[in-house]
A and B are shown apart, each in its own frame.
Chain A
Amino acid sequence: MAWVDTVLQGLLLGGLYALFATGLSLIFGVMRIVNLAHGDLSILAAFLAVVVVETVGWNPFLALILVAPLMAALGYALQTLVLNRLLGQGILPPILVTFGLSIIIQNALLETFSADSRRLNPGGIETASLALGSGLAIGWFPFITLAVAVLILVGLQLLISRVSVGRAFRATSDDQEAAELMGIDNRRLYGLAMALSLGIVAVAGVFLGIRTTFTFASGPDRLLFAFEAVIIGGLGSLWGTLVGGAVLGIAQTVGAKLSPGWGILTGHLVFLAVLLWRPQGLFARARRVD
């Protein structure tokens, strides 16, 4: 039963990773860039929530009402003022600029909030659990995280299939030039995609901060886990990110149970194994060969 419990906890942890992965996957899907500051932006959101909690005295969940739109606005500004200027210059400039941002954000967080680890306290729910019988129990908070991840994925699915902005996302993803010829304003669209991505990242960052402690340096790991979930699930597959997150989460909890210190490493090794034996991921969307 202990192993079933471990796998169950890993599955729920996967919900959190799916939240991180969704934003990354969206950006890559729409504009074919990898935002290397993705993880650090989530930690920035968590610190912003700390500020809101400490100054206004709100519950961290409520703080998201401020933090998520703020991060979305930052995303729109980042894309339209900075990243759009690098369009059409090849792969190198967006990688280097987002990497520079990653290092800037980390060190700015260090200077502003010191190296101390922080945590967001939602007032009891993080320790409450739901008994499933025969000794199994799941935490309410991990369950809520997974539910939110599923809700966000359903929302995104509806957006890209039913709403005109979402259809424009898909059109640009399939063929940027043709989409432009059809009258789609690429630059504004990219701004919206980044805003959406960072809005989701804000949710992920705050949920991370409730689940565990974080420091200024927690960002890169978030980026790597998100990336691994995307690759395991299969590039371009929205639901694949949920499966990828779950596989990564289970690998980490099972690894940690086998030997403390091997949790994260086991996650990485499973990722490498998937890369070797199924490089297109578990749920790759059928794609045109570039």
Chain B
Amino acid sequence: MTSSTAPIQVERTTRASRAGLAAGAIALLALGSLPAWGDPSTMRILVEFIALLVLAQMWNLLAGYAGLVSIGQQVYVGLGGYALIVLADDLGVNPFLAVPLAGVIAAAFALPTAALVFRFHGGYFAVGTWAIGEVYRLLIANTPALGRGSGRTLKAVFPLARETREVTTYLLALAIGVAALVAVYAFLRSRYGLGLMAIRDSEPGSETLGVDVFRTKLVVYVGVAFGTGVTGALIYLNLLRISPDAAFSINWTAYTIFIVVIGGLGSLEGPLIGTALFFVVRELLSDYGAWYMILLGALAVGVMLAYPQGLWGIVAERWDLRFFPVGRRVRVD
């Protein structure tokens, strides 16, 4: 008996997701060939765009799906960045290869960190993760080998030609962006993703259904630390100069949260829209100092009050669009 004769079918794709897959493939082709026809400034902007997008996808998985509202993800940006410098400059690892390895190091730090912050719940988890961020920043700012408060410069890329470095960084960023999107999408569609969404909706309820709440949250926390660490390394491969105040700045988390909240918490499309909006607002207000942060903050607060599902939530509801469907739909023929 084949599934076509069954009266009930479970659909896991939508028309939009099939069209989106085709559009995504075309976009990827265009972006992948950019070094052949684009200029370096476009590539630099895109590296930054992808970095913020991945940070947003990671935080979204953590807060929007696992309900772990961390205000301390700058820890893993900073650890990833410093891991890159130590691996490439001190241990002689190829700097591009050091980027994924930096994620492994960030994840290794995430395990003991989780042992501490998982003692908190809700609002106290948020402040607790923030406090841990300060601990890491101060520890590194007091470590002479890491350049103390003034930080370090990535020297391993100096022998490379500027163009080689820029193109490789860009292609690496593109690979990281695609891998992050595919990984988050696949994870959410798997049975772990289903367990995760059950936890979000009701922790005690999901536990009685056999979901291992602690384990699932831990896997997400450590996995997200890996993704955030890789992104931190990518950011500092692009910037070349790192300091504890910048690398462990709360601004990384602020950008991320504003992007996800405005775009739409708990969807994969939301961070994409949010990141695009973030860049537009920042460019438009580039002559007005810190006003873009005030505007983005106000937008995020306004969205939270009026449309908790974010901009993508409004679109998805209005037109029933889902480019990245993670749910299951039952259709009766």
Chain A residues in the interface with B (C-beta under 8 A): 28, 32-34, 36, 82, 85-86, 89, 91-97, 99-101, 103-104, 107-108, 110-111, 220-221, 223-224, 227-228, 231, 261-262, 264-265, 268-269, 271-272, 275-276, 279
With beta carbons under 8 angstroms apart, the residue of B127, B261, B290, B305 that contacts A82 is B305
CB closest residue in chain A, given B305: A85
Q: Are B290 and A110 in contact (CB under 8 A)?
A: yes
| Cα(A286)–Cα(B126), bound, Å | 24
Q: In the complex the two chains form, is B290's CB within 8 Å of A111's CB?
A: yes
A271 & B297 in contact (Cβ 8 Å cutoff): no
Chain A interface mostly helix, strand, loop or mixed? helix
Which of B116-124, B180-188, B319-327 sits within the interface?
A: B116-124
Min CB–CB distance A14 → chain B (angstroms): 18
Given contacts A100-B304, A101-B297, contact A107 B134 (CB under 8 A): no
Return the chain A residue nearest B301 by Cβ: A100
Question: Are B122 and A275 closer than 8 Å at their CB atoms?
Answer: no
Question: A94 — nearest CB in chain B belongs to which residue?
Answer: B123
A34/B131 contact (C-beta < 8 A), A91-B69, A96-B300 known: no
How many residues in B have their beta carbons less than 8 Å from beta carbons of A? 38
Closest chain-A Cβ to B301's Cβ sits at a distance in Å of 4
User: Can you list 22 pairs linking A and B with CB atoms under 8 Å apart?
Assistant: A91-B67, A91-B123, A92-B63, A92-B67, A95-B126, A96-B257, A96-B261, A97-B301, A99-B254, A100-B257, A100-B298, A104-B298, A107-B294, A220-B250, A227-B127, A261-B141, A265-B138, A265-B142, A269-B135, A272-B135, A276-B116, A279-B119
Question: Which residues of B from 61 to 84 have beta carbons under 8 Å from A?
Answer: 63, 67, 69, 71
Q: A101-B301, A111-B290 are in contact. List 20 more A-B contacts (CB 8 A).
A: A34-B124, A82-B301, A82-B305, A92-B69, A92-B265, A95-B71, A99-B254, A99-B257, A100-B261, A103-B254, A103-B297, A104-B297, A107-B294, A108-B294, A110-B290, A221-B134, A224-B131, A268-B138, A271-B131, A272-B135
Give the residue name and chain of the A residue nearest to B291 (CB): A111
B149 nearest in chain A by CB position = A261
Cβ < 8 Å to A, chain B residues 101-138: 116, 119, 122-124, 126-128, 130-131, 134-135, 138
Answer whether residue B139 sits at the interface, using C-beta atoms and an 8 A cutoff: yes
Q: Which of chain A's residues have a CB closer than 8 A to the CB of B63?
A: 92
The verdict on B293 contacting chain A, using a C-beta distance below 8 Å, is yes
Closest A residue, CB atoms, query B115: A276
Do B116 and A28 touch (CB < 8 A)? no
Measured between beta carbons, the chain B residues less than 8 angstroms from A231 are 124
In the assembled complex, B258 has its CB within 8 A of some CB on chain A: yes
A20 to B119 Cα, complex, angstroms: 23
Which residues of the partner chain A approach B300 to less than 8 Å between Cβ atoms? Answer: 96, 100
Nearest CB of B to A33, in Å? 6
Least CB separation from A279: chain B residue: B119
- Closest chain B residue, CB of each to CB of A108: B294
Q: Which of A93, A110, A271 contacts B304 (CB 8 A)?
A: A93
Nearest chain A residue, comparing its CB with the CB of B69: A95
